[in-house]
Structure 1
Amino acid sequence: MIGAGMGAMAAAARLAVAGHRVAVYERTATYGGAVARFERDGFAFDTGPALLPLPAVYRDLFVKTGKQPLEECVELVQVDPASRHIFPDGTTISVPNASRAGVVDALNTALGSGAGDRWGDFLVRAREAWDRTRRPLLEEPLWPDWRVLAEREPYPAVPHKRLLRTHRARTLDEIAAWELRDPRLTALLDGHALAYGLDPRTTPASAAVLPYMEHAFGTWYVMGGIRELARAVYERCLARRVEFVFGAEVTGIVEKDGRAAGLELADGTVTEADQVVAGLDPVRLHGLTDHPLRDDGDVRPDRESARPGRFTVLLALRGRRESGAAHRTIVHTPDRTAELDFVSYLSDTDEPVRPTVTVLRPDDPALRPDDEHESVVLSAAAPVEIDWSADRTDERFADLLVTAAEAAVPGLRKRLLWREVRTLQSTTQETGAADGALPQPALAAADGRFLHPANTTRLPGLYLVGGWAHPGGGLPHAGMSGALVAGLIVEGPGFRGSQ
């Protein structure tokens, strides 16, 4: 197995339980891939995903691979409120966790009568899109006739009369304009897209499943940080006798008799294998073999469209976290068009603009030296093809994130001890992903541009796992990719997913 990301480890544990001998070769010194941690002076920070949607995926992994359930291996807590939002006009709202009725009431109170009802009606339609796509896009191997998923928009948009013709929303942007009809609700919807680096103006309406997942299944935090989830999965792999080799750079996939038969390492070592599972981004993967892995009939994500990444600023603060502080606050951009143009490479300049900023303030003693200090993580979507080191672009963009975060963290600048700026190149170093790009979950419609390659490849014996393969990016999707790959190897091509 190549790589020790979350999807690869999920596959490794399941395969080991099924009786396979599994060895994982990881080029870095640790496991977890994007689920990484930074530590300094007694402060600790999650540098990748920081919250866990749809924890049932990992509950299933632990049930299927051992006697100890997930809750005995990590401490899971629901985040309530799920998020606090600060809009450019000064309006603020706290969104309850996993309560559609509570969300409707909160939005009606904060944004005016009718706003919450429109959002609630949107969530009902989003649920229908979820019901239509959950199995094919999360729980089953990619269909051979995947074009059915590419051509059909599962979101049941409300008919909209425009220029004497009836139209239905095809993008998140059109949902916002025609069905939500409030710039603050638009910002709320935008936030779910930007969390994955998606531009709502071009993202299919089927992405309505992203806010639905959060509202329906709740937002969860792992005490000690999401890195603790990676630790628990790693330890489950060790308990199932999975072997890990760290600092092992894979430089080639060995082929024999027309199938994948092993790995070649940077030190010249060759190891044989009956099956090879690769948790790599497409650029690195194609550098390991000359064998064509796809043909013209396979899914080909739109690589012409830029895939943004995540820019992060870690803040070490003096002073106690105030009572009642929200775990997650989203400070929305004052200029939506400028932000989306910047993220999507449509701006005439590389000059950073103030983005939508996610402010994470977990009340977790494990992440701070003592209760008189606080660790805070700021993040925003950002384009990958920028020279962040030129003209202090990274520091200037970080300043914009800190300025936005002042609305969420009282006395932030006076409390600041130090900050650590992490550009997209930091993501590349940890995950190997080209340019630090962020994989998004698989989405239906849009001619298949938001689907991901199948877990099987045109090279027999080679399987793909993790965020750059079906069903795409995100912690739940990584866990499901591991389940799908393990099922395909154990049960063969007739495997049809979890029941």
Structure 2
Amino acid sequence: MARIAVIGAGMGAMAAAARLAVAGHRVTVYERSATYGGALGAFERDGFVFDTGPGLLHLPAVWRDLFLKTGKEPLERCVGLTEVDPASRHLFADGSAVTLPNASRAGIVSALESALGAGAGERWGDFLGRARDAWDRSRRPLLEEPLWDDWQVLGRDPYPALRQRRMLRTRQAATVTEVGALELADPRLAALFEGCALAYGLDPRRAPASAALLPYMEQTFGSWYVAGGMRELARAVYERCLARKVEFGFGSEVTSIVVRDGRAAGVELAGGAVAEADHVVAGADTALAAGQELWEDGDVRPQGGPDAGQLPGRFAVLLGLSGARPASAVHRSVVHSPDTGAEAAAVFGGRLAERPTVTVLRPDDPRIRPDDAHEAVTLTATVTGHGGAVDWRDKALRERCAEALIDAAGTAVEDLRARALWHEILTPAETGAVPAPSLAGLGGRYLHPANSTRLPGLHLVGGHAHPGGGLAHAGMSGALVAGLIVEGADFRGSQ
């Protein structure tokens, strides 16, 4: 039985902790804040409850697998999990709109064909077919296996872009924006793809075409909602850890990783106390290993972001509304920017977008509202990160951005301003950055550092390590770290 110190109680870290405890190890989680869950937080006011991180669950199989592998009680016995159907309603700048069903390619194609005109559904269906090919080619190395030593083979984009002859030249789409222009050939279809990429923290102008995996993943495996809000999933994972005898130290800030005899040997806490360990799993900043060389020449290293700039963040407006939620309301609506390129230029250029893409979440859940005469609504947009050119602590700036989101959301929620009792604002200053998921292509610039480091005994977990950001990816990173520690060099990936 090994002693394992886990830094941070985020979802990836807890996923690793539960699996390692089941394997017979003694696991202690050190979390500097007063609670667990990382990005899966909640805000409560006047009987309303809001998610402060992701509002929907994609690839629930990741978390089902965790609960299956760590005990007899399945995920659905621990949280209320329901499909979101319809999956989303999209409103475009030209006044057109489309409502997409959940996890039905045929239904999606039909809806697009009816709403956006002849040929729109067929083009999107063909695009999803190419995205499926990219998924099949890259799923295991990107999501289910440790990052290969010869990761350079992932520098090639698995998306089978169409060859098109234009102006005496043969062209192929290499980026998300180019796929929209060359293959989807409709600004509204392009907005569907570009808006999805932006929501994952990617710049559609630069992100590889393999980002087609993201809408494919959502539209194939569906969108799911956790009753009571996504914080309930964090609670269930935390309780599973406790049931498997994982120990938690809240208010325990790790100031450095202890290195002895050339390997990670524990953690030092604020105040000077040292917790000895045989392995350290870091779900936090690798600067804790100051002075240690964690990567060698040729390794994938941490970056300021795939686009060599500051990572974007998420801006949220939490609204308590008077009046019952209409029966016709859709759980998720997306009000698309009239110019996603300009929006991306602002987000990744340290500026505010004049007209951002806004996601409106309206869960039909009695647990998140004081009574049926009220409704809880969350508005979110991807924005430039905190610091540098933008200080999200500026009250006037926060309110100006909130007004832009509320204006946009008014096209999706009737009488929004008249019904609003109050609103609360969350910015990247409170919620942090949005790390993107790993993607193949463009020479591997969209990959994240491996879960194993060159310092023996130190492993990385969470959104800033392989396979990257997002709730599903965090769960996968936990499975990979546990496999590497339990099976060592023989580990070939999750089954």
Shorter-chain TM-score bucket reads over 0.9
Specify the alignment match of 1:326 in structure 2.
330
Specify the alignment match of 2:262 in structure 1.
258
Deviation at 1:351, TM superposition (A): 4.9
Question: Could you say what secondary structure the match of 2:379 adopts?
Answer: strand
What pairs up with 1:392-471 in 2 under 5 angstroms?
392-427=396-431, 436-471=432-467
Q: Does residue 339 of structure 1 match 2:340? A: no
Task: Kindly indicate whether the alpha-carbon contact (under 8 Å) linking 1:251 and 1:288 is maintained by their aligned counterparts in 2.
Answer: no
Q: Does residue 52 of structure 1 match 2:57? A: yes
AA aligned to 2:361 is L
Task: Kindly indicate whether the alpha-carbon contact (under 8 Å) linking 2:343 and 2:356 is maintained by their aligned counterparts in 1.
Answer: yes
Q: Does residue 61 of structure 1 match 2:62? A: no
Specify the alignment match of 2:188 in structure 1.
184
Deviation at 1:343, TM superposition (A): 0.7
Deviation at 1:194, TM superposition (A): 1.2
Unaligned residue ranges in structure 1 (runs of 5+):
428-435
Q: Does residue 77 of structure 1 match 2:82? A: yes
What TM-score do you get using the length of structure 1 for normalisation? Answer: 0.95
Q: Does residue 356 of structure 1 match 2:361? A: no
What pairs up with 1:113-262 in 2 under 5 angstroms?
113-150=118-155, 152-262=156-266
Looking at structure 1, the residues matched to 190 and 302 of structure 2 have their Cα atoms a distance apart, in angstroms, of 26
Looking at structure 2, the residues matched to 200 and 176 of structure 1 have their Cα atoms a distance apart, in angstroms, of 10
Specify the alignment match of 2:20 in structure 1.
15
Looking at structure 1, the residues matched to 422 and 292 of structure 2 have their Cα atoms a distance apart, in angstroms, of 48
* Superposition CA RMSD, Å: 1.1
Q: Which string of whole-angstrom CA distances, capped at 9 and with x for unpartnered residues, describes residues 19-51 of structure 1?
A: 000000001100000011111111110010111
Structure 1 runs (4+) deviating above 3 angstroms are none
AA aligned to 1:102 is G
AA aligned to 1:298 is D
Task: Kindly indicate whether the alpha-carbon contact (under 8 Å) linking 1:301 and 1:448 is maintained by their aligned counterparts in 2.
Answer: no
Task: Kindly indicate whether the alpha-carbon contact (under 8 Å) linking 1:300 and 1:448 is maintained by their aligned counterparts in 2.
Answer: no
Specify the alignment match of 1:111 in structure 2.
116
Q: Does residue 371 of structure 1 match 2:381? A: no
Question: Could you say what secondary structure the match of 1:342 adopts?
Answer: helix
Question: Could you say what secondary structure the match of 1:442 adopts?
Answer: coil
Task: Kindly indicate whether the alpha-carbon contact (under 8 Å) linking 2:480 and 2:493 is maintained by their aligned counterparts in 1.
Answer: yes
Deviation at 1:391, TM superposition (A): 7.0
Question: Could you say what secondary structure the match of 1:407 adopts?
Answer: coil
Specify the alignment match of 1:495 in structure 2.
491
Q: Which string of whole-angstrom CA distances, capped at 9 and with x for unpartnered residues, describes residues 195-232 of structure 1?
A: 11211110100100000001110111111111111110
Looking at structure 2, the residues matched to 48 and 351 of structure 1 have their Cα atoms a distance apart, in angstroms, of 21
Task: Kindly indicate whether the alpha-carbon contact (under 8 Å) linking 2:29 and 2:248 is maintained by their aligned counterparts in 1.
Answer: yes
| Partner residue of 1:479 out of 475, 479, 486 | 475
Task: Kindly indicate whether the alpha-carbon contact (under 8 Å) linking 1:118 and 1:180 is maintained by their aligned counterparts in 2.
Answer: yes
Specify the alignment match of 2:34 in structure 1.
29
AA aligned to 1:122 is F
Q: Does residue 294 of structure 1 match 2:299? A: no
AA aligned to 1:366 is R
Deviation at 1:407, TM superposition (A): 0.7
What TM-score do you get using the length of structure 2 for normalisation? Answer: 0.96
Deviates more, 1:303-312 or 1:195-204: 303-312
Looking at structure 2, the residues matched to 165 and 23 of structure 1 have their Cα atoms a distance apart, in angstroms, of 59
Q: Which string of whole-angstrom CA distances, capped at 9 and with x for unpartnered residues, describes residues 352-396 of structure 1?
A: 412000000001111111111111111101011412344711110
Q: Which string of whole-angstrom CA distances, capped at 9 and with x for unpartnered residues, describes residues 313-368 of structure 1?
A: 1111111001120000000112333211111107xxx4541200000000111111
Q: Which string of whole-angstrom CA distances, capped at 9 and with x for unpartnered residues, describes residues 59-110 of structure 1?
A: 1111100010011111110001110001001111101100000000000000
Specify the alignment match of 1:431 in structure 2.
none
Question: Could you say what secondary structure the match of 1:85 adopts?
Answer: strand
Task: Kindly indicate whether the alpha-carbon contact (under 8 Å) linking 1:318 and 1:374 is maintained by their aligned counterparts in 2.
Answer: yes
Question: Could you say what secondary structure the match of 2:267 adopts?
Answer: strand
Looking at structure 2, the residues matched to 405 and 351 of structure 1 have their Cα atoms a distance apart, in angstroms, of 17
Question: Could you say what secondary structure the match of 1:493 adopts?
Answer: helix
Looking at structure 1, the residues matched to 145 and 467 of structure 2 have their Cα atoms a distance apart, in angstroms, of 9
Deviation at 1:287, TM superposition (A): 3.9
Question: Could you say what secondary structure the match of 1:210 adopts?
Answer: helix
Unaligned residue ranges in structure 2 (runs of 5+):
1-5
Specify the alignment match of 2:391 in structure 1.
387
Task: Kindly indicate whether the alpha-carbon contact (under 8 Å) linking 2:159 and 2:209 is maintained by their aligned counterparts in 1.
Answer: yes
Task: Kindly indicate whether the alpha-carbon contact (under 8 Å) linking 2:352 and 2:384 is maintained by their aligned counterparts in 1.
Answer: no
Looking at structure 1, the residues matched to 174 and 381 of structure 2 have their Cα atoms a distance apart, in angstroms, of 25
Task: Kindly indicate whether the alpha-carbon contact (under 8 Å) linking 2:302 and 2:464 is maintained by their aligned counterparts in 1.
Answer: no
Question: Could you say what secondary structure the match of 1:81 adopts?
Answer: coil
Looking at structure 1, the residues matched to 466 and 179 of structure 2 have their Cα atoms a distance apart, in angstroms, of 26
Distance 1:242 1:287, change over 3 A: closer
Deviation at 1:489, TM superposition (A): 0.2
Deviation at 1:301, TM superposition (A): 5.0
Task: Kindly indicate whether the alpha-carbon contact (under 8 Å) linking 2:8 and 2:31 is maintained by their aligned counterparts in 1.
Answer: yes
Looking at structure 1, the residues matched to 393 and 37 of structure 2 have their Cα atoms a distance apart, in angstroms, of 27
Task: Kindly indicate whether the alpha-carbon contact (under 8 Å) linking 1:28 and 1:246 is maintained by their aligned counterparts in 2.
Answer: yes
Looking at structure 2, the residues matched to 10 and 34 of structure 1 have their Cα atoms a distance apart, in angstroms, of 14
Question: Could you say what secondary structure the match of 2:82 adopts?
Answer: strand
Deviation at 1:55, TM superposition (A): 0.5
AA aligned to 1:361 is R
Task: Kindly indicate whether the alpha-carbon contact (under 8 Å) linking 1:301 and 1:451 is maintained by their aligned counterparts in 2.
Answer: no
